[in-house]
Amino acid sequence: MKKYLLIAALLAVAPGVSMAQDATNDAQTPAVATPDTKNPDAPVPGKNSFTEDQARERITDAGYTDVNGLKLDDQGFWNATAMKDQKQVNVVMDYQGNIVTK
């Protein structure tokens, strides 16, 4: 009887253990980019949770000025025009916070 209880207990725990082993953490693709890192595949499409004010602040913190026409598109990119190094550029910020010019 003890043998069957032990087997039942192990079977009950086994799915949780195998699920934990299946979970992956892709260190190359963080949920949010930090100022010192940038995803080399940026911009990355995805559901963007940055508000307009947060996107504007992040873009200006990256050294852009005169951020205008900031709009969120259907791929999850915040798009705007801005000034950088005395040149007008098109700037894109993805859901990870990566900022690129186009």
What is the block-wise mean pLDDT of the chain (102 residues), using blocks of 10 residues? 54 51 46 65 93 97 97 97 97 96 90
Q: Residue 42: CB partners within 8 Å, gap ≥ 6?
A: 33, 94, 96, 98, 99, 100
Q: pTM for this one?
A: 0.64
What pLDDT sits at residue 90? 98
Judge residue 55's burial from the number of C-beta atoms within 10 Å of its C-beta, 0-12 exposed, 13-18 middle, 19 or more buried: buried
What pLDDT sits at residue 22? 43
Q: Residue 54: CB partners within 8 Å, gap ≥ 6?
A: none
